[in-house]
Amino acid sequence: MAAPCGGKKCRIGPSILNSDLSELASECQRMMDSGADYLHLDVMDGQFVPNLTFGHPVVKCLRPKLPGVFFDMHMMVQKPEQWIQNMADAGANQYTFHYEATDDPTTCIRKIREAGMKAWVGIKPKTAVDVLVPLVDLVDMVLIMTVEPGFGGQKFMADMMPKISFLREKYTDLDIEVDGGVSPSTIQHCADAGATMIVSGSAVVNSENPKETITYMRDIVNQAIQKTPA
């Protein structure tokens, strides 16, 4: 199963939260057929964020229907340690926890790896990017939120781009994912800052031509990568 890795190639992961959840498996397949590299699955517990979505039982149901698809679990949950094994057993490929949701991120990373998943860490808009520096060598990717996590359809926060630029300058090969309000009209900001993994929800899922939308955003990011010194 192919996994996102390496910061020198763009990968697009549609967020399926805004899709028709009654047709979730077919919607996920539609995204893959449209050229998605992976799927971004938002898990919310109603505590870390003021919304509630699905958990590992849904992932377990999706896995046999999408056997070769990389599941990017965005765990917007308090005490993320408690769900690690359940998600691994359900077939998740990676586990993105929020720095703000745990008192011991290093232990959380270790438990994720022990469960056989890739370990990713994300930060909310109000969290300083510096907190990620001690963790970069321990994780496979970092996530910079460009909206407040919890709801789709929010306005893209361009003032988060300096966080991405800081990480890109310091870690040239690091996978940097951006999530929140990313669309054809905001993708250039992400590309210029150095993001390589792009999460896009409604802009892709609700597009009249999702394949065209995905291709456009990937091309913009890859053009920016090519301009960056190796």
Q: Is 37 exposed, middle or buried (0-12, 13-18, 19+ CB in 10 A)?
A: buried
CB neighbours of 82 closer than 8 A, spacing ≥ 6?
none
Half-sphere exposure of 39 (CA within 13 A, CB side): 31
Kindly tell me if the per-residue pLDDT of 5 is higher than 50: no
Residue 133: band (very low, low, confident or very high) from pLDDT cuts 50, 70, 90: very high
Residue-wise over 181-192: b if at least 16 C-beta within 10 A, else e?
bbebebbebbbb
Bridge partners of residue 39, in order along the sequence: 71
Share of the chain above pLDDT 70, in %: 95
Write the pLDDT tens digit of every residue in 159-201: 999 999 999 999 999 999 999 999 999 999 999 999 999 999 9
pLDDT band at 22 (very low <50, low <70, confident <90, very high): very high
Q: Does residue 88 surpass a pLDDT of 90? A: yes
Least confident of 1-10, 38-47, 90-99: 1-10
pTM: 0.94
Distance CA 191, CA 209 (A): 21
Q: Which residues contact 65 (CB under 8 A, 6 or more apart)?
A: 25, 28, 29
The rounded distance, in Å, linking the Cα atoms of 16 and 60 is 16
Task: Report whether 57 contacts 89 (CB < 8 A).
Answer: no
- Residue 2 has a pLDDT of 47
52 pLDDT band, cuts 50/70/90, is confident
Q: Give me the active site residues, please.
A: 42, 179
> What is the pLDDT, as a whole number, of residue 1?
47
pLDDT of residue 50: 87
CATH architecture of 11-225: Alpha-Beta Barrel (3.20)
